């Protein structure tokens, strides 16, 4: 099924009984066709934070937590976000004898939808710490030119620097649109690389060029990764985006050329 057949952007009744059938998988294949030869394009993880997670204990008393879902980038399918929200809402009046029983059921359902092993970690509502971004923020730089849609030709090496670098850059200016509803998605993107020094202004211009682009979070991160890999040819590369939440969910895709560069998942203040 195509995403147009999903519940995204449509008026929907929220289920009050356990409803795993609402989960809507979306194949990753179509978006990855042109990146098939890019090293690391399916190497990494998608982390989701679930802020509206509630169920009933054996005494019928509501329980709440924050959940972190880990979905491998090798999974054939991602899960459409509104269907995931509906799924978690369908658990609000379901009785679980323990947190582990909840975790086991959610992992089973999400793994079936993604056709890969998905994990769920629960946090007390006051215990998921807010992190500070690390690296060099490039948001105060002035790009040489601006484009309204992703343009890989913006990406340049630093002509004045021939030495290799190991650098982590980040920008809070990533903005794209949901490809179905057109609603804006905001995020902070981290780019770590080793190799010839990149022109930081060109990286910022490239990130800004996503402002009118229609794409799912995971697809945007993979396009950023692929364009940097092809055009700047780093020795190693990591692209990690922490998107702000919508509908009680935030999505945080990360792709790496070397698994040793996988970062620990974080939550930023805007999330």
pLDDT tens for 41-58 read 999 999 999 999 999 999
Whether domain 136-261 has CATH 3.30.1130.10:
yes
Q: In what order do the strands lie in the sheet with 44-56?
A: 119-123, 62-72, 44-56, 249-256, 236-243, 184-196, 164-177, 136-137
Same fold, 13-123 and 136-261: yes
pLDDT tens for 174-183 read 999 998 889 9
User: What Cα–Cα distance (Å) separates residue 234 from each residue in 166, 187, 198?
Assistant: 10, 23, 9
pLDDT tens for 223-246 read 999 999 999 999 999 999 999 999
Confidence of residue 11 (pLDDT cuts 50, 70, 90): low
CB atoms within 10 A of CB 163: 7
Q: Show the DSSP H helices in 78-169 as ranges.
A: 81-89, 99-114
C-alpha 90/C-alpha 92 separation (Å) is: 6
In CATH, the architecture of 13-123 is 2-Layer Sandwich (3.30)
Confidence of residue 6 (pLDDT cuts 50, 70, 90): very low
Q: Catalytic residue positions?
A: 178, 185
Q: Per-domain residue ranges for the chain?
A: 13-123, 136-261
- Check pLDDT > 70 for residue 169: yes
Nearest to 38 by CA among 261, 257, 259: 257
- Check pLDDT > 90 for residue 9: no
Residue keyed to tokens 């519940």: 7
Q: What is the DSSP string of 176-234?
A: EE-TTT--EEEEEEEEEEEEEPB-HHHHHHHHHTTTT-B--HHHHHHHHHHHHHHHH--
SS3 state of residue 79 = strand
What rounded mean pLDDT belongs to the chain?
Answer: 93
Nearest to 254 by CA among 245, 266, 244: 266
pLDDT tens for 58-79 read 999 999 999 999 999 999 999 9
- Check pLDDT > 90 for residue 1: no
Q: Is 33 exposed, middle or buried (0-12, 13-18, 19+ CB in 10 A)?
A: exposed
- List the single range of 24-38, 49-63, 250-264 with lowest mean pLDDT: 24-38
pLDDT tens for 101-160 read 999 999 999 999 999 999 999 999 999 999 999 999 999 999 989 998 999 999 999 888
What's this model's pTM, rounded to 2 decimal places?
0.92
C-alpha 93/C-alpha 167 separation (Å) is: 48
What pLDDT score was predicted for residue 158?
87
């Amino acid at each position: 099924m195509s995403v147009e057949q999903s519940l995204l952007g449509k008026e929907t009744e929220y289920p009050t009984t356990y409803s795993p059938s609402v989960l809507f998988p979306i194949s990753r294949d179509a978006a990855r066709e042109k990146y098939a030869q890019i090293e690391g394009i399916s190497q990494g993880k998608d982390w989701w934070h679930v802020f509206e997670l509630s169920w009933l204990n054996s005494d019928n008393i509501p329980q709440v937590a924050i959940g972190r879902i880990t979905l491998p980038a090798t999974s054939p399918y991602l899960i459409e976000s509104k269907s995931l929200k509906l799924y978690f809402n369908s658990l609000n009046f379901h009785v679980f004898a323990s947190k582990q029983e909840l975790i086991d059921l959610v992992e089973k359902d999400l793994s079936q939808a993604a056709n890969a092993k998905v994990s769920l970690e629960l946090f007390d509502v006051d215990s998921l710490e807010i992190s500070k971004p690390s690296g060099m923020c490039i948001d105060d730089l002035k790009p040489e030119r601006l484009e309204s849609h992703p343009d890989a030709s913006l990406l340049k090496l630093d002509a004045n620097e021939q030495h290799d670098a190991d650098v982590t850059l980040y920008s809070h200016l990533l903005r794209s649109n949901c490809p179905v509803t057109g609603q804006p998605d905001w995020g902070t993107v981290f780019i770590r690389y080793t190799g010839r020094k990149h022109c930081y202004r060109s990286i910022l211009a490239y990130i800004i060029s996503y402002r009118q682009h229609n794409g799912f979070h995971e697809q945007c991160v993979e396009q950023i990764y692929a364009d940097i890999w092809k055009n700047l040819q780093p020795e190693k590369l990591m692209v990690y985006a922490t998107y702000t939440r919508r509908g009680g969910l935030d999505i945080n895709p990360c792709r790496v050329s070397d698994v040793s560069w996988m970062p620990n998942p974080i939550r930023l203040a805007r999330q």
